[in-house]
Amino acid sequence: MPEILRPTNPVPAYDNVGPRTSPAITPNDTAIQNVVDPSRVTRADQRTDQQNAGDATQGLRYDSNFLTFIQRLRTAPDMATAFLQLLQGRGLQVSSGISEGLAVEMAQFLEYMQMDEAQLTQFIEGQLKSSARFGGPLFSALRTAYARSGSEMLRAEILQFLRQYSDNSSTGHLEGRMVRTLYEMSRSLPSHWSGRLLDTAARLQNGVAAGDRQGNLQLLRNEVFPLISDYVRHTHDHGRARGLLSMLTLDMVRYENGGEREMVMAFRHLSSYGIFPEGLENLSDEEILRLLRETEFTKAARTDRFTEHLVKMTDKALAGEANVATQDALRNIMASILVNESVYMPLLHLLLPFQWENKAVFSEMWVDPDDGSGGQQGGGTRILIKMDIQGLGVFDLLVESSAGRTSLQVSCPEAVAAHSGEVSRSLNDILERNGLRAGEIRVSPMRRPMNISEAFPKLFQEVMTGVDVKV
Integer Rg of the chain from CA: 28
* String of DSSP letters for 233-248: HHH---SHHHHHHHHH
Q: Is residue 360 part of a domain?
A: yes
Q: Among 258, 279, 296, where does a domain finish?
A: 258
335 assigned to some structural domain: no
- pLDDT tens digits, 435-465: 889 999 999 999 888 888 788 887 766 655 5
- Domain assignment present for residue 403? The answer is yes
DSSP lists the bridge partners of residue 388 as 362, 394
Q: Answer whether residue 368 is part of any domain.
A: yes
Question: What is the number of domains present in the chain?
Answer: 2
Domain boundary at 258, 291, 319, which?
258
CA-CA distances (angstroms) from residue 362 to 73, 113, 394?
17, 11, 10
3-class DSSP state for residue 83? helix
In a domain, 245, yes or no: yes
In a domain, 404, yes or no: yes
158: in domain: no
CA distances from 162 to 267, 276, 466 (A): 10, 14, 24
Q: pLDDT tens, 338-388? A: 888 777 777 888 888 888 777 888 888 888 866 554 434 445 788 999 999
> Would 239 be classed as within a structural domain?
yes
Confidence of residue 412 (pLDDT cuts 50, 70, 90): very high
Output the pTM of the full model. 0.68
Domain end position, chosen among 228, 258, 288: 258
Q: Identify which of 118-132, 238-252, 253-267 has the greatest average pLDDT.
A: 253-267
Range of the domain at 185: 170-258
Is there a single domain that holds both residue 351 and residue 460?
yes
